[in-house]
Every structure is written in structure tokens, then in C-alpha cells.
Amino acid sequence: MQTRLLLSVSALGLALASLPAHGASQLPGAAAASPRPPECRNRVSVSGSELWGRARVPELARFCDALARGYARLGRAPSDALIQADKAERALPGRAATWVLRGRAHFALGRFEPAWQAFVSARKLAPRSLDAPGALHDFARSALRTAHYAEALTAYRALVPRAALFDSETLQQRVHLEAAAQAMWTGPTGLGEALGYLSEARRAAGTPGLEDLVLGALALTLDRQGRQVEAEGVLREVGSGFDPGALAKSAHAPELPPGELLALSAMISGRRDPGRAQAEWSQFVASQPSSPWLAHARAKLAALSRGRAKGTH
């Protein structure tokens, strides 16, 4: 027992000695905020928190320190996270964890192509480096933003079973909605899969606007299956003042395939504002010539045109 105690005290001293004096008290909180890569899984406990790194390898301690600090800054200052990723690279070159942090920082900055390339680099170095839910979500969205649609759907399929690991029910709901939209983007064969994801999305207690968008997506899915009566029943549950366009500008805006927000908005508008719905379906048809749902949109547009023509007589 005494020998083990002496070894623990010695290891603790070495760990603290490897840290800069001004950062020793900040590192535990930073480390706790970020996913720990395999290199940093051996740990030392300090005041109930866990420090990353192995005390006997200074380069590894600096690497883990930089990653932890980078993740701590990712949400508020992603440019700082990139700086920390560079520090991690200098400490231990060629590690997948560094590329994951870079990818997430680039995505947070709206740099979608560099984000995608960084995630691809991470996966080449370590195929499971994107397993953490936050990293997998950013990877899925960067794939969508860079038109790698098959990869986006594969990522969402892997992410959905892990969505419950997110603390936010709004984020859980959003992940299921995004997965459903991506499944629908494959065409009629994806509709059943989309309905499954949307059923899970309805169970989550998200934000009111996002809940209305889930209902709109469910109605759109049913309508695309030819189940118009059921779709109309779902649309009656959508809030009367809901505006998908306004939600798209909020922090809760989901990532959707091209044109799908237009289709959702047109679907929701059809019951209370046929003129707006007609304009949105027209815009969908004009802007999405390769969509698997082009024929459906044209049919909706034709039905609205006939309805409005009857109303003028």
C-alpha cells in the first residue's frame, strides 16, 4: 500500500511539473469538456478532475493539453481551437485526433470543404476517430455541405443510435430530423427509413419551432408516399404562426439536403397560404432539376394551380 501511494504521489508531481504554471488550474475543466483520444486515456486525478496525458512523456502531455484546450474553445472561439490543433500537431505529428479537432473547428467557422478534408484525413489515420457523437455530427453535416450525400447518410445512420448521448433534447431531435431528410433524399426507397427517424424525433422534447418542422417533415414524407389524407392530419398539428424560413435563420436550424427546406415550407404553407405554397413549389422545381422528388413537386404545383383557378370562377 505504501509503495503504491508513493508511486501515485510521484506520478502526480510529474504530471503537474509538465504543465505550464499558469495553465495547471485551467486544464482539468478544459479536458472534461472534450472527447479523450486514445493517446490521452491514461490519466491522473487532480481534485476530482481528470488530466489528459502520461507524465513520463512530455510530448504527449503537451499534445493532450492542446487538444483539451482546443475543445474547450471550440464552441466560443473556433479559430483558437485551430491554433491549439496546430500546437497538438507540433507536439505529436500525424495523429487522427488533431485532424478531428481541425475538422470541427473549420466546420464551426463555416469552412466546409476544409472541414470535410480534415475529417477524411482523420479517418484514414484511424477509422474510428469520428465515433464521438459531436465529431460524427459535424462530419455528417460537412459531408452534406460538400455534396457527399452517400457519406452523409452513412454518417447519420451511425449517429442516430448515439443521439441520446447528446445532453440537449433539441439536438437529439435535430439529428433525427436531419437523418430523415437525408434518407428521403435517396428517393422513394428511403421513405420508410425517414418515417422511423421522424417517429423518434417526435418523442424528443425539442424547441417549438423545431417540433413544427418535424411535423412538416412527417407530412411531406407521408405525402410523398401517396398518403395525402394522413399528411393533412399531421399538418393540422403545426402551429398556425410557424415560419420555416425564420427557423432556418436560428441557432436550431437543421442541415437539410438542397431544396428540402423549400419543400417543407411549401407543404406547411399549402393549408393556409396556397399562394405562398405555389411560389415555393415553383422555386423548388426551378432550383432542383435533379431532385428525386421533382415529379412530386410538379404534381403539388399543378394541384395548387388547379385549385386557385377554380377559386377565381
Higher-confidence residue of 58 and 65: namely 65
**pLDDT over 70 (residue 55):** no
Q: What is the pLDDT of residues 298-307, one digit of tens each?
A: 999 999 988 7
Q: What is the pLDDT of residues 195-221, one digit of tens each?
A: 999 999 998 877 888 999 999 999 999
* Secondary structure of residue 252 in the 3-state scheme: coil
> Looking at residue 308, what is its pLDDT?
64
What's the full length of the chain, in residues? Answer: 313
> Looking at residue 31, what is its pLDDT?
42
**Under a CB-based contact definition with an 8 Å cutoff, are residues 41 and 79 in contact?**
no
Model pTM?
Answer: 0.83
**Under a CB-based contact definition with an 8 Å cutoff, are residues 224 and 191 in contact?**
yes
Q: How much is the CA Rg of the chain, to the nearest whole Å?
A: 24
**pLDDT over 90 (residue 261):** yes
115 vs 229: CA distance, rounded Å: 42
CA dihedral 124, 127, 129, 131 (to 10 degrees): 140
**pLDDT over 70 (residue 16):** no
> Looking at residue 67, what is its pLDDT?
95
